[in-house]
Structure 1
Amino acid sequence: MDHKDLDVWKKGMDLVEAIYAFTKGFPDEERYGLTSQMRRASISIPSNIAEGSARKGDKELIQFINIAIGSVSELETQYLIAVRLTFANKNENLEHLLSEVKKLLLGYRNYLKRK
């Protein structure tokens, strides 16, 4: 299956867009700090799904899915830091999307392990 057909990849792409919009208003001095980190972590999620899907087998794909799970966990923490530092207000839609992507990744990994 092409990675672009996977719901988890599509939601990951939605998350990238949401993070770019969320970080747009961060202070200029955070351009190379939290803004950059959050954007890179979000990009890592669909990128690792795509790279893992292009590999030979499920074992390699699972490894890349695990990396994507790590990236979404990192991104959740960075989101909470941004809110604590008052760079942005809480965003329930973004929180829901983070949770949804994490659940989809975990579900996809479990599916691959049972195959």
Structure 2
Amino acid sequence: MMPHITVLPQGLQVVAQPGESVVDALRRQGWRSRYKCRRGGCGVCKAQLVNGRVRYLQPVAESVLGTTELAAGRCLPCRAVPVTDVVVDLGAEPLRAVLTSNPVSRTTTHE
């Protein structure tokens, strides 16, 4: 079963492929969230993991995402691979459609 990713505050939902990060799942389905390096080195994408579990296929530097932040539910969506269905709060910066014909039929929004 492939995990569902729900993105707050928009309520957008996408499905992650096996081994796919949150950012990559969003990009594959026509959405862009805040990120810069996509390697977990800058911390620009840092978000709140509201629910669910993620894992990191590669180590994340303590200087970018420390144990205190991890314990508080912070994650790096550019590297975070969902293990279960997850809810991620990206904060005030909205998702942007990167395709002119965004595949809305493959996503579900929740009010």
* TM-score (ref. length: structure 2): 0.26
Higher strand residue share: 2
* Greater relative contact order (Cα < 8 A, sep 6+): 2
**Radius of gyration: which is bigger?**
1
* TM-score (ref. length: structure 1): 0.26
